[in-house]
Amino acid sequence: MLKDRTDYLLDIDEVLGPKAAKKAPGIVKWFLKRRLHVDQINHFVMTAEHYNGVGFFDDALKFLDISYRIRGEENIDLSKRYIFVSNHPLGGAEALIIGSIFRRLYGKGFKVPSNQFLYNLKPLREFFVPVRVLSGGKQDREIVERMTEMFNSDCQSLVFPAGLCARTFKGKITEMPWKKMFISQARKYQRDIVPVHISGHNSKWYFFLSWLSRTLRLKTNIGMLYLVDELFKQAGNEFVITFGKPVPYTTFDKTKTDLQWAEEMKNTVKELSLDNGCTPNM
């Protein structure tokens, strides 16, 4: 049964979850709606040509006035299943850009692990695998099951091994340490790894809030609340997406630990930024 457009609208209570939504004061919900641009996003959903599915990626980029160009597309063999691994400079624009590129290359055949907010963008939910950090037993197992299903499917998989967006350390934009999970998954499911670099960075305001969160030792990076703001600030910008040559899964042997291999892949992605003439954002 076809859904009505209104079924795809963003709802702040769903983003918060049932327990938090009941406890949150009205002023908090109002603040979050503004920070997450709920009204603007819902207006776009109601007026876009493609209000759900793969067409939404291109329409959203047009709405936001974001463009991109690709380098290294010839490195991709469309007949193979890959794990694409990318730096994480922005927190929103890269998901839309990758979705637009993969739409053209693979149609609907791709999945991307995402945070809870992106997963709550209902027009794109089918392409995202929610992997928010949860504590305890059953929920953790559910995340593992979702990830296993993704890697074991015929879909292309793209992951951001840093998990969090790049921040500043000592005045330098720095990619967070990469987690090693994608290395073991590449071996297990015999998928070669394609390094991907995405240009760009967030604003000084976002970096300040991230610094403040670290300084105050807050459990949550308050800059995360402004990632949608950061997405809208990218209006008029063009990004460069560079695909490197695939690295065979057989490369990741016992000569190094998985964590060391992950660091090597991170450095490979950083080198792509030097090749494309962009200012390094790692």
What share of the chain has pLDDT > 70, as a percent?
Answer: 93
**What residues form DSSP beta bridges with 157?**
83, 111
pLDDT (average), residues 237-262:
97
Strand order of the β-sheet with 82-86 is 67-71, 238-243, 192-198, 82-86, 156-159, 110-114, 128-130
Phi first, then psi: what are they for 147, rounded to 5°? Answer: -65, -40
pLDDT score of 201 more than 80: yes
Q: Which residues fall within 8 angstroms of residue 111, CB to CB, at 6 or more apart?
A: 127, 128, 129, 150, 153, 155, 156, 157, 158
pLDDT band at residue 210 using 50, 70 and 90 as cut-offs = very high
* pLDDT per position as a tens digit, 79-127: 999 999 999 999 889 999 999 999 999 988 899 888 777 777 888 888 9
* Helical ranges in 107-243 per DSSP H: 116-119, 137-152, 181-188, 204-215, 227-233
* pLDDT per position as a tens digit, 121-162: 888 888 988 775 433 444 467 777 888 888 899 999 999 999
CA dist list (Å): 184 to 5, 141, 147, 190, 211: 40, 17, 12, 10, 32
Enter the pTM of the model.
0.90
Q: What is the mean pLDDT of the chain?
A: 89
Reduced to 3 states, what is the DSSP secondary structure of residue 168?
strand
Give the pair of three-digit tokens for residue 72: 């290294």
Reduced to 3 states, what is the DSSP secondary structure of residue 276?
coil
Can you give the pLDDT at residue 128?
87
Tell me the CATH number of domain 48-275, given options 3.40.1130.10, 3.40.50.720, 2.40.10.10, 3.10.20.30: 3.40.1130.10
**Whether 244 contacts 256, CB under 8 Å:** no
pLDDT (average), residues 18-35:
92
* pLDDT per position as a tens digit, 163-186: 889 999 988 999 999 999 899 999
- The larger pLDDT score, comparing residue 24 to residue 220, is at 24
**Whether 269 contacts 154, CB under 8 Å:** no
pLDDT score of 230 more than 60: yes
What share of the chain has pLDDT > 90, as a percent?
Answer: 67
Distance, in Å, from the CA atom of 75 to the CA atom of 128, rounded to the nearest integer, reads 25
Can you give the pLDDT at residue 281?
62
DSSP secondary structure of 233-263 = HTTT-EEEEEE---B-GGG--TTS-HHHHHH
**Whether 53 contacts 92, CB under 8 Å:** no
**What residues form DSSP beta bridges with 194?**
84
pLDDT (average), residues 182-193:
95
pLDDT band at residue 275 using 50, 70 and 90 as cut-offs = low
